[in-house]
Amino acid sequence: MFDHFNFLAPIYDRAIPFSRLAEMLRIVNLPIMGTLLDAGGGTGRVACALSSYVGLAIVADFSSSNVFCGHRLQPDMEVATSKLCNQFE
């Protein structure tokens, strides 16, 4: 089966950058020293943008993609991958 997410995600991440940082910081009351969970976070473009304003940013997504905004990771950020989600495919 063709994996649409892996095909489109790198294009989407670059073509539609996260541009509402000030508004998002206000809405979710950042910065904090706590943890941010971006459920269904896809490529992690929003979590990457917010990562400097939280103690830890976690992206949880069912995609098997390895395209998690690697070009924008902060020096202290890591990408954790798991095959657990593949059992649902």
pLDDT in tens, 28-67: 999 999 988 888 887 788 888 898 899 888 887 776 555 5
pLDDT of 82 higher than 60? no
Task: Give the Cα separation of 50 and 25 in Å (integer).
Answer: 8
Write out the H or E segment, with its range, that includes residue 7.
Answer: helix 4-15
Tell me the pTM: 0.69
For the chain, what are the domain ranges? 4-88
Q: Higher model confidence: residue 57 or residue 5?
A: 57
The one-letter code for the residue type at 58 is I
Token readout for 19 is: 């541009």
Q: Higher model confidence: residue 43 or residue 23?
A: 23
Mean pLDDT of 8-24: 85
